[in-house]
Structure 1
Amino acid sequence: MLQVTNINKSFHGKEVIKGIDLSIQKGEVVVIIGPSGSGKSTFLRMMNALEFPTEGDVLLEGESILYRTVGNKKVPRKEKELSKFRAEVGMVFQGFHLFAHKTVLENIIEGPMRVRKVNKETAILEAERLLQKVGLADKRDQYPHALSGGQQQRIAIARALAMKPKILLFDEPTSALDPELVGEVLLVMKELANEGMTMAVVTHEMGFAREVGDRIIFIDQGVIVQDESAHHFFHINNNNDRIKRFLNTISRNVV
């Protein structure tokens, strides 16, 4: 579904992603973990061209998201082309990013109508179905400020799903939430995984990673330290000292 090849990224001369290769198969849930500042979110954002790599490429079903070929040269895609691919690679952010001046329903139908050119009636029917799916059908006419953080994040997930993406990226979707609201968002994500949605998730929620992840990618200092099945990563003796320290730190921070 998605292939990342030799991705490098530098900011002001400092290399933060160092030659990462990764393939994500259709229907797979890949959970990306690692210490803060290790490059996880930057790496995720490059998967749908919200960040452009210094070197390397990202392929969606074998086609480059970042470049088109002109003659024998690779030319960066224009913003209009990038938008087409971003519609296929959905993104759920840490901070919700809902339009404050639009109702819940208007937030969800905006993308399909503007980008996918879906007619309003069809977009509304799909939005209502998705609101049922995330358990918020009664919030369709409310504005984001009237919702809890967990409700806003579930609306953000519904909005991303309304675009009918081929893969959905989650950038620490629960880290901005109060602890008691985390579970309602993770439940929606678990249901998506059970339905076969292809997902890449940056998170510190180890319970979710253990239960839902097919593969665990551990990133530290801009490189993949370990790429294993979730069962192997969590349940078979992991001899990597750096990963042991990370998991012990996460365990101590869980209240």
Structure 2
Amino acid sequence: MRDITFKSPHCSTLPEGRARAHLAEVPKARKGAGGTWVKPRQGTNRDPFNSDAPTGGDNPACTYSLPNGTSPAGTGEFDRTDAAKTPVGIQNLDIREKTMAYLLDAIDKKILEILQRDATIANIELAEKVCLSPSPCSRRVKNLHEQGFIKRAVTLLEPEKVGLPVSVFIQVTLNHQVKKELQDFESVIGQWPEVMECYLMTGDFDYLLRVVVPNLQAYQEFLDQKLTELPGIDHIKSSFSLKQVRYHTELPLDQLLENRGQ
């Protein structure tokens, strides 16, 4: 047996038995090589992705033990390309990511969790947090964008700092719940910057809106000049927020892996 050691201070944060320091660098075919994962330890071996850089005695390293004469992909000798000093197993990375792009794993989930908290994080820092080297990490983020898991990156503003301290929740009931009237209402509502959220609801009313305004006078003007001017509205009920108890933009992601046993 021989050890392939991946240097990263974050390797020990992955669950035992799934300490996949560089999942992209060690494809799933590694199971065919008969190797086993070794717990993170104080590493002294050299980094296989940089032959000149030892892992150092102070950094924990994730180690994957392979039978002699096998590569991470289990297809031959462990080798590097002359240009990038990259293990042969990485050559299968692009194919694997394209064919399994829609199947998220624990590393993808971790990436999404981190980006939800801070979309401005540098790729090299993100790579360290998820125990990947920068290039595979960047490819994963790009793939998550292309597959539609990430819609866009935005900056959240503090409403009071920009002069919009008042939030109003509005229940709107239409005269008739026919397709054309619903579409006309949604088309107009979508053009008003004061409307932060709008939901088509079940129950006693048709739509629930959240509107932000500077003060009560501004809301009165919004009602008089915009909302009540729309045709087809039967009833409007407004409720003012006294205090924001919780405002959260991070979606829970545990359900992504529940059905995959990860």
Q: How does the TM-score come out when normalised to structure 2?
A: 0.22
Larger radius of gyration: 2
- Name which structure has the greater RCO, CA cutoff 8 Å, separation 6+: 1
Q: How does the TM-score come out when normalised to structure 1?
A: 0.22
The structure with the greater share of residues assigned to strand is 1
